[in-house]
Chain A
């Protein structure tokens, strides 16, 4: 008998890659419609100002101009609590003032210069602590503390745990603004057909928020709004807002012609949504043997002018400190603050890399102070399979959260130890690591380790439809967006595994509200787990219908699918092929699923352990990455080649941030100083060695074919792994990302590490 064709675990080729190489893939900015106009946005030159008057007459008369949009045209319905489509109050340098649609990009840009705006300048504030002080300028009427209250989550009693500790360690850790800046900038194309709107846009969620928000804000029934994302030129947790699309749609309505707007690179740096800067104060109490008795983190996050998904960002800063080490008492206080900096948003990993940076560097300091090898410390005190001490607070029978606080609940799978052991073995930790600060000479090598814990991908409402036709088509429809990470390939593999056909045979439709069931946002590394689950269930449902048909063809009561063919149950020998069964279908078969995967009994998280080897020049402050091993527990790996590329890319992306990427703001004016790839140096192909990626953990019992989250978990430990390797090389810990030569030289100075 033929062996069963498998898709899971195979390095199936990435769907659509040949078209990408040939330049045939159409991204939003590549699209055209008859009569297309080009739009540009006028942006605020002031950090905080009120529009006293705005005169658009000259712009409207300019050659080629068809529409000018200002806050007077904006609907009263807001995009978010703190965000209007266009507002008379401007809250950062780069905030949207007006927009123009014209025959050409150049004509639209020329017209922007003809718009006369009179501004009343308002006092501005850029620092989060200052923004919290009494009498600080108010960025929003409700005050500068986002939502009016601090976020507080806790398990046990942190103060009691600190009081009972043999020693308490503490430190302050800072992170700067990180720009995701996908190579494709934000873009939208809007076209009205009478009262019906079609929007093509850069998107991570065409259904919700995009369609839902556009329908609500524009006052159009959702059924009359179609949102499509033809291809995404990089997501990275970013590009999730609808403001640009709303402006484009309003311009198109006013002009009576389709309009396309794409951001310039400078706009993407400034008005795209970057990761917020933070100041994190961490205290850890330990018993005499080093066991944590309390972990207590307070983070102040500079949210910028609008918070958007920043609420999730601030929550996620706390998750590593709350859950990565077994500890009865943990507390996290998160304080998101409005300022007149450009609006923050979400970027791969949200707050997790920030909280993990503080946690994993302080833990390294604890291990060093107690004379424990940092690998051993983590093996001993990292959170075990059985979870945290304490009591479950989620009522029995309810789905457990994927960012847990409570104790008393086990993980369904926990590959932390496997990752530590495999990574240590790979980099040669036991044989090669010297004590901290013992390296000498002008170039000093060091090894560092850091761990990570992250959401496993559960909890998103997911749907899938698999339509199988007598003509032999297997058409899978899912509402999510492949943002470039490869979910189009992965979801096809899951359906193919169920039906025992080659993955290439599954025809995929994603990211089009007219042709897919509702899909969740591509966020929280959830597509494989949540939508993958829906695909599996939908495919099983379709397969059951095929089995009925196959049984009828075979003249038996019950058939099974084996080796890619349908055979009578218990009677091998006779069989019919997939195509035989499909051609015999009297009508198309539809397999459907709508579910929210998760567990009432177990926590589902993804884990990582990363090992960095660095070479440090104490004289110049320069850090070079020599080797980097990323060990990931993402359950069973659906596609090893795609997974390896995703982990490698995640690590390289964050090594660039760790060592040099930082967006600078002039704090007198609020002007972003380096909004370009020349001045904000992005990682290039010569900068780092090849990342060594290993997947040492077993399958996730509750995941679709054993899989769990992969996209974000590998970014989580990167900053700390590098900082700890630098400390091993030099004896000095870095407390601020990025680790520029200046910061390293400052860290080396007090203890004379720069002496030759």
Chain B
């Protein structure tokens, strides 16, 4: 066989996740999502489409929302990664969380962390975002329960509460 054994190609990287540094041995092909979920047991980012089509695995990289399934762990090395678990520790996440709960912004909940991370980033970047700006900010997120009406209400309420915050 001419192909090299990928398991023999592991690299040592340092990941900065939720403010904590982790030295990890990873294969180059390992995604950030797999490392977060299987190595660090941070399972808030969900695997759902495997290729950046649904937003369920959204995390912040350099404070910007990205699909963790679409990024290799080695690409994230040395850059701050914040997962929904880390975001939940921030005081400005609380109004968002409360708005989602109050307005029922999720049904089965599988896509919900992704929506929450994306909403956080959208409202941080534009606290005055109107309905359509928010809809377009979330267009890459699929909710198969189609709880979109309640999600949108929750996101708009999150904006109201964050402006008050």
B48 near A682 with CB under 8 A, answer no
B64 contacts the other chain (CB 8 A): no
Chain A CB within 10 Å — which of B85, B138, B145 has the most? B145
A236 contacts the other chain (CB 8 A): yes
Q: Which residues of A contact B146 (CB under 8 A)?
A: 648-653, 656, 683
B109 near A233 with CB under 8 A, answer yes
Cβ-Cβ contact count across A and B, 8 Å cutoff: 200
Say yes or no: A265-B48 contact (C-beta < 8 A), given A64-B7, A106-B6, A677-B53.
Answer: yes
Residues of A in contact (CB 8 Å), total 68
A677 near B49 with CB under 8 A, answer yes
State how many angstroms separate the Cβ of B146 from the closest Cβ of chain A.
4
Say yes or no: A486-B53 contact (C-beta < 8 A), given A20-B112, A233-B46, A691-B149.
Answer: no
B163 contacts the other chain (CB 8 A): no
Say yes or no: A17-B5 contact (C-beta < 8 A), given A22-B84, A183-B48, A682-B142.
Answer: no
Q: Which residues of B contact A112 (CB under 8 A)?
A: none
B110 near A183 with CB under 8 A, answer yes
Q: Which residues of B contact A106 (CB under 8 A)?
A: 6-7, 27, 29-30
A32 near B41 with CB under 8 A, answer yes
Q: Which residues of B contact A117 (CB under 8 A)?
A: none
A13 near B102 with CB under 8 A, answer yes
Say yes or no: A21-B139 contact (C-beta < 8 A), given A677-B54, A685-B152.
Answer: no
Q: Which residues of A contact B113 (CB under 8 A)?
A: 20-23
Q: CB-defined interface of A681-696 with B at 8 Å, one 1/0 digit per residue? A: 0111110101100000
A752 contacts the other chain (CB 8 A): no
Q: Which residues of B contact A26 (CB under 8 A)?
A: 43
Q: Which residues of B contact A234 (CB under 8 A)?
A: 107-108, 110, 144-145
Least CB separation from A645: chain B residue: B150
Say yes or no: A182-B108 contact (C-beta < 8 A), given A23-B85, A26-B43, A684-B142.
Answer: yes
State how many angstroms separate the Cβ of B136 from the closest Cβ of chain A.
6
Q: Give residues 483-501 of A contacting B (CB, 8 Å).
A: 483-486
A653 near B144 with CB under 8 A, answer yes
Q: Give residues 93-119 of B contacting A (CB, 8 Å).
A: 96-97, 100-113, 116
A184 near B148 with CB under 8 A, answer no
Q: Which residues of B contact A17 (CB under 8 A)?
A: 100-101, 104-106, 109, 112
Q: CB-defined interface of A126-167 with B at 8 Å, one 1/0 digit per residue? A: 000000000000000000000000000000000000000000
Distance, CA A173 to CA B37, complexed state (A) = 46
State how many angstroms separate the Cβ of B48 from the closest Cβ of chain A.
5
Chain B CB within 10 Å — which of A20, A231, A677 has the most? A20
The 8 Å CB contact of B143, one of A21, A24, A107, A183, is A183
State how many angstroms separate the Cβ of B17 from the closest Cβ of chain A.
13
Q: CB-defined interface of B45-61 with A at 8 Å, one 1/0 digit per residue? A: 11111110110100000
A30 near B37 with CB under 8 A, answer yes
Least CB separation from B136: chain A residue: A686
B6 near A648 with CB under 8 A, answer no
Q: Which residues of A contact B85 (CB under 8 A)?
A: 22-24
Q: Give residues 154-194 of A contacting B (CB, 8 Å).
A: 180-185
Q: CB-defined interface of B110-145 with A at 8 Å, one 1/0 digit per residue? A: 111100100000000000000000011011111111
Q: Which residues of A contact B49 (CB under 8 A)?
A: 265, 676-677
B97 near A22 with CB under 8 A, answer yes
A264 contacts the other chain (CB 8 A): yes
Distance, CA A75 to CA B85, complexed state (A) = 43
Distance, CA A180 to CA B144, complexed state (A) = 8
Q: Which residues of B contact A24 (CB under 8 A)?
A: 44, 85, 88
Distance, CA A36 to CA B96, complexed state (A) = 35
Distance, CA A19 to CA B107, complexed state (A) = 12
Q: Which residues of A contact B44 (CB under 8 A)?
A: 22-24
A21 near B105 with CB under 8 A, answer yes
Distance, CA A235 to CA B43, complexed state (A) = 20
Q: Which residues of B contact A651 (CB under 8 A)?
A: 146
Say yes or no: A484-B148 contact (C-beta < 8 A), given A21-B112, A264-B50.
Answer: no
Least CB separation from A181: chain B residue: B144
Say yes or no: A645-B30 contact (C-beta < 8 A), given A22-B113, A64-B7, A682-B144.
Answer: no
Q: Which residues of B contact A641 (CB under 8 A)?
A: 103-104, 150
Q: CB-defined interface of A225-258 with B at 8 Å, one 1/0 digit per residue? A: 0000001111110000000000000000000000
A18 contacts the other chain (CB 8 A): yes
Q: Which residues of A contact B72 (CB under 8 A)?
A: none
Least CB separation from B27: chain A residue: A106
B97 near A13 with CB under 8 A, answer no
Q: Which residues of A contact B104 (CB under 8 A)?
A: 11, 13-14, 17, 641-642, 645
Q: Which residues of B contact A16 (CB under 8 A)?
A: 109
A486 near B107 with CB under 8 A, answer yes
Distance, CA A487 to CA B102, complexed state (A) = 18
B73 contacts the other chain (CB 8 A): no
B142 near A110 with CB under 8 A, answer no
A649 near B147 with CB under 8 A, answer yes
Q: Which residues of B contact A650 (CB under 8 A)?
A: 146
Distance, CA A219 to CA B110, complexed state (A) = 34
Least CB separation from B97: chain A residue: A21
Q: Which residues of B contact A1 (CB under 8 A)?
A: none
Q: Which residues of A contact B34 (CB under 8 A)?
A: 105
Least CB separation from A180: chain B residue: B144
Distance, CA A21 to CA B96, complexed state (A) = 9
The 8 Å CB contact of A184, one of B46, B53, B101, is B46
A302 contacts the other chain (CB 8 A): no
A30 near B145 with CB under 8 A, answer no
A27 near B50 with CB under 8 A, answer no
A51 contacts the other chain (CB 8 A): no
Distance, CA A408 to CA B95, complexed state (A) = 56
Q: Which residues of A contact B38 (CB under 8 A)?
A: 32, 104-105
B5 near A23 with CB under 8 A, answer no
Least CB separation from A676: chain B residue: B53
A463 contacts the other chain (CB 8 A): no
The 8 Å CB contact of B106, one of A20, A110, A265, is A20
A262 contacts the other chain (CB 8 A): yes
Q: CB-defined interface of A50-74 with B at 8 Å, one 1/0 digit per residue? A: 0000000000000110000000000
Q: Which residues of B contact A185 (CB under 8 A)?
A: 47-48
B151 contacts the other chain (CB 8 A): yes
Q: CB-defined interface of A643-669 with B at 8 Å, one 1/0 digit per residue? A: 011101111110010000000000000
Least CB separation from A682: chain B residue: B142
B151 near A23 with CB under 8 A, answer no
Distance, CA A653 to CA B146, complexed state (A) = 6
Q: Which residues of B contact A642 (CB under 8 A)?
A: 104
Q: Which residues of A contact B107 (CB under 8 A)?
A: 14, 234, 484-486, 645-646, 649
Q: Which residues of A contact B43 (CB under 8 A)?
A: 23, 26-27, 29-30
A544 contacts the other chain (CB 8 A): no
Q: Which residues of B contact A690 (CB under 8 A)?
A: 149, 152
The 8 Å CB contact of B47, one of A19, A29, A180, is A29
A386 contacts the other chain (CB 8 A): no
A678 near B53 with CB under 8 A, answer yes
Least CB separation from A31: chain B residue: B43
Say yes or no: A63-B111 contact (C-beta < 8 A), given A106-B30, A685-B138.
Answer: no
A25 contacts the other chain (CB 8 A): yes
Q: CB-defined interface of B65-93 with A at 8 Å, one 1/0 digit per residue? A: 00000000000000000011100100000
Chain A CB within 10 Å — which of B49, B142, B144 has the most? B144
Q: Which residues of A contact B151 (CB under 8 A)?
A: 685
State how many angstroms separate the Cβ of B18 from the closest Cβ of chain A.
11
Distance, CA A686 to CA B53, complexed state (A) = 15
Distance, CA A483 to CA B140, complexed state (A) = 24
B100 near A182 with CB under 8 A, answer no
Q: Which residues of B contact A27 (CB under 8 A)?
A: 43, 46, 110
Shortest 3 CB-CB contacts between residues of A and residues of B = A23-B44, A484-B108, A20-B109
Can you pick out 9 interface pairs between chain A and chain B where the beta carbons lie within 8 Å of each other? A17-B112, A21-B112, A106-B27, A183-B111, A184-B46, A233-B109, A265-B50, A649-B149, A683-B148
User: Beyond the given A22-B116, A110-B7, could you list 9 further A-B residue pairs with CB under 8 A, ordered by the A residue number?
Assistant: A14-B106, A22-B84, A23-B44, A24-B85, A106-B7, A183-B144, A232-B108, A234-B110, A641-B103
